[in-house]
Amino acid sequence: MTFIKLYEESFRKNFDFPAMADYGSGETFTYEDVAKEIAKLHILFKECKINPGDKISVIGKNSSRWCIAHLATVTYGAVIVPILHDFNANDVQHIINHSESVLLFAADAIWETLTEEEIPCVKGIISLSDFRLLFQREGESIGKTRAGLDEKFAAKYPNGFGPEDISYSDQSDDELVVLNYTSGTTGFSKGVMISGRNLSGNMTFAHNYICLKRGDRMLSFLPLAHTYGAAFDFLYALTEGVETTFLGKTPAPKILLKAFEEVQPEVVISVPLIFEKIYKNMIIPLLNKRPIHWALSLPLLDTQIYTKIRKKLIHALGGKVRQVIVGGAPFNSEVEDFFLKIKFPISVGYGMTECAPLISFSPYAGFIPHSCGKVLECMEARIDSEDPENITGEIQVRGQNVMAGYYKNEAATKEMFTEDGWLKTGDLGTLDKNNNLFIRGRSKSMILGPSGQNIYPEEIEAKLNNLPFVMESLVVEKNRRLIALVYPDYGAVDESGLSHDDLALVMEENKAALNKAVASYEKIAEIQLFPNEFEKTPKKSIKRYLYN
């Protein structure tokens, strides 16, 4: 079955079941509602002379209508261009023009920042709040068609709209479905060409190993314009009859925990930062309480305490969670070790936009600590190293999930692949005999030590981030010295009553503690306090290139 036909089958099968909800708004959509909205948009596309293969952009925060616009586009046979809502207006306009998008679905607030004259290829702009027309080019009839859409829908389906009326594009899985513009740590945005076959590989794997079922619930808080959140919170969930609630706002801890309590998801898709904050803000203070700290030294009591902590965490996530999947960025090893010690059902996956996105993953029961799971059955991986199990090298992959290339950028595409056709991930790691992947860091962030040693700043940062009053850190090389830029946890500093001078002393103590825990060539010469949070990608990875 092709990728697009998965939705034809699912909407027919789950017609009466809840499909989507927007958190806090009270608005919900059944699979029937979604199918009707898609059918109406298909009429609009046809009347407005939008053809299969045309590009349609969508930009806005996570919402049901964002997903409906996406699905209507791909099931029509057009190509969706998801744009991250926190791109600036110039970047948004560049992506629309570069992709040659003929239609734009946009949040009202974002539309107000755009200049229609700067996107001449666009026939019209449609609001993501209610699908009303925001703008149309002179000579277009989108507004007239939109105003009469209900009547046209009723005329097309005079006996009512039922499951048998759902019929989507018959295009091959080799055709382009998504044009996803990356926002990476290197600062360059390229249009990744993702086919139906790429997405089918991810859907098949998720069906076999994530194992959502009809009636399950998901809470979507990762940006849907990124392939990780889109693939599993949205695209996969809708093939299984799952109801997804879209948070639609910044996932601050208080908001997120309240949403977990209300939605009660069975599976949670997350980036590491969320669970690192839970560990730092909820668990460490608990473990540092004197009675708990004492009890953990006793063999029988520690098991009971860890069981209680695990139950408390599951309750905080709504009480029904079966599996937590972390990906999109490196996971702090100390945090991972603790969650696995208490038998919390968490595992780590690995992927990239160019693989739509999954490369490796293992469910909790088979997960190897500190790995990124096992390479998918539809994928192959190799390490550019003479000893892939023990000597770090670049991770290179090939298989069903690998993109066709970068849109209108042959030079970047050629640079991304080896001469024998393997995709160069830019990540460094090892691969064991059972095909479990272990990542050390990014090849572009690796620092060469004074005697030729490979220094992975991410590993030093992971240790530093667990020390007192450190919110986040970045290790860089300056004048052949390793410097740690630290954004302090100012909330904790204020609560403790520390002065600025006291904080500087604490950082000196942190430096001494860190340097005892790392190799001699990894020692930090200086910690410099940074006044603001580091700028990040939507996956919450620090944009390292801005600070080198």
Q: What is the DSSP string of 17-30?
A: SEEEEETTT--EEE
CA angle 58, 64, 67 (to 5 degrees): 45
Q: What is the CATH number of domain 3-194?
A: 3.40.50.980
Q: Is the pLDDT of residue 111 over 70?
A: yes
Q: What is the mean pLDDT of residues 272-287?
A: 85
Q: How far is it, in rounded angstroms, from Cα 477 to Cα 485?
A: 11
Task: From the options 3.30.300.30, 3.30.420.40, 3.40.50.1820, 3.40.50.300, give the CATH code of 448-546.
Answer: 3.30.300.30
According to the model, what pLDDT value does residue 295 have? Answer: 63
- Between 13 and 272, the higher pLDDT residue: 13
H helices of 167-263, in order, are: 196-209, 227-229, 237-239, 253-263
- For 253-442, which CATH class? alpha beta
Q: How far is it, in rounded angstroms, from Cα 191 to Cα 209?
A: 29
Sheet with strand 217-220: strands edge to edge: 28-30, 18-22, 243-246, 217-220
According to the model, what pLDDT value does residue 187 have? Answer: 47
Q: Is the pLDDT of residue 185 over 50?
A: no
Residue 186 — pLDDT band, cuts 50, 70, 90?
very low
| 3-194 and 448-546 share one fold | no
Q: Which of 58-67, 187-196, 528-537 has the highest mean pLDDT?
A: 58-67
Q: What is the mean pLDDT of residues 91-104?
A: 95
Instruction: Please count the other Cβ atoms lying within 10 Å of the Cβ belonging to residue 1.
Output: 12
For the CA atoms of 347, 353, 356, 359, the dihedral, rounded to the nearest 10 degrees, stands at: -40
Indicate the DSSP class of residue 535: P
According to the model, what pLDDT value does residue 501 have? Answer: 79
Across 285-412, the runs of DSSP E, i.e. the strands, are 323-326, 346-348, 350-351, 358-360, 379-384, 393-399, 405-406
Place of tokens 């919402």: 63
Cβ atoms of 403 and 337 closer than 8 Å: no
Q: How far is CA 165 from CA 39, 116, 437, 484, in A?
A: 9, 36, 45, 60
According to the model, what pLDDT value does residue 208 have? Answer: 93
Q: Could you tell me the pTM of the whole model?
A: 0.84
| Closest listed residue to residue 548, CA positions, set 485, 484, 477 | 477
| Closest listed residue to residue 251, CA positions, set 266, 229, 283, 234 | 229
Q: Which of 85-89, 90-94, 417-421 has the highest mean pLDDT?
A: 417-421
Phi, psi (rounded to 5 degrees) for 177: -120, -45
Cβ atoms of 111 and 57 closer than 8 Å: no
Q: Name the average pLDDT for the chain.
A: 91
Q: How far is it, in rounded angstroms, from Cα 124 to Cα 153?
A: 21
Q: How far is it, in rounded angstroms, from Cα 207 to Cα 194?
A: 20
Cβ atoms of 521 and 481 closer than 8 Å: no
- Phi-psi label, residue 26: left if phi above 0, alpha if psi -120 to 50, beta otherwise: left
Residue 369 CB partners (closer than 8 Å, separation 6+)? 336, 337, 340
* Distance of alpha carbon 69 from the chain centroid: 19
Q: How far is it, in rounded angstroms, from Cα 244 to Cα 234?
A: 7
Q: Which of 106-110, 438-442, 509-513 has the lowest mean pLDDT?
A: 438-442
Bridge partners of 396?
A: 382, 424
Cβ atoms of 191 and 406 closer than 8 Å: yes
- Amino acid identity of residue 188, one-letter, is F
H helices of 21-141, in order, are: 31-47, 64-76, 89-99, 108-111
According to the model, what pLDDT value does residue 293 have? Answer: 66
Residue 11 — pLDDT band, cuts 50, 70, 90?
very high
For the chain, the structural domain boundaries read 3-194, 253-442, 448-546
H helices of 245-331, in order, are: 253-263, 272-278, 284-287, 290-295, 299-316
According to the model, what pLDDT value does residue 393 have? Answer: 93
| Closest listed residue to residue 327, CA positions, set 294, 371, 368, 282 | 371
